Chains A and B, each alone.
Chain A
């Protein structure tokens, strides 16, 4: 079993839809949870990071962490064609380093105009 599981998709939604992207994980020691967006032929771009449980909002994006269920989500409201990309979740420990970062395999999202 992988430490981090992410539905690869592909996920296709109409413009304006609410998108929900999810990851599950097995290591309860993870404390930092990140979401990256990767456009085709580009490197990953950090969208949001959260520490421990709870919600964090940034514009149209909301990151949610449920440590009791070992489940994290990224919600995109009013999705736009420019949101079409692969979304990667990542997580690490509170006293960790980038060496201990664990990534999901990514969900490919297409927002249709």
Chain B
């Protein structure tokens, strides 16, 4: 298993500003994953954060909008840049302790509201 601390738990932000979300894991992991969860919709993978290399972004997500840092094997940040109300969502970080995606552990999430 893995214990993941994510902060902030929630924030209300103004349009055009940026928010950085932090994720700390209690053990070293190769990859960390960032998801977005919109009301009534399934979890959508934003990007995979690898230590020592650029993050891998999924279709529809770009580095300029969602820059990611991965300075070591236990920590990652996701920044939501130049926010608009459409960015209002829950953002989750996760790690996979299984062999191929069958054992994901998640942080408690960041509830973001953009006014």
Residues of A within 8 A of B (CB): 2, 4, 6, 8, 32, 34, 36, 41-46, 49, 51, 88, 90, 92-106
Contacts and interface: CB of A to CB of B under 8 A. Distances in A.
A97 B96 contact: yes
B109 A93 contact: no
A11 B6 CA distance: 30
B101 A97 contact: yes
B42 interface: yes
Contacts of A4: 42
Interface residues on chain B, size class: 20 to 34
B31 to A, nearest CB: 7
B42 A44 contact: no
A85 B55 CA distance: 32
A35 to B, nearest CB: 11
Nearest to B10: A41
A105 B94 contact: no
B100 interface: yes
Chain B CB count within 10 A is highest, among A88, A102, A104, A105, for A105
22 contacts: A8-B40, A32-B101, A41-B111, A42-B108, A43-B4, A43-B92, A43-B109, A44-B92, A92-B100, A96-B100, A96-B101, A97-B100, A97-B101, A98-B45, A98-B48, A98-B104, A99-B33, A99-B101, A102-B42, A103-B42, A105-B40, A105-B42
B43 A98 contact: no
A98 B111 contact: no
Contacts of A88: 42-43
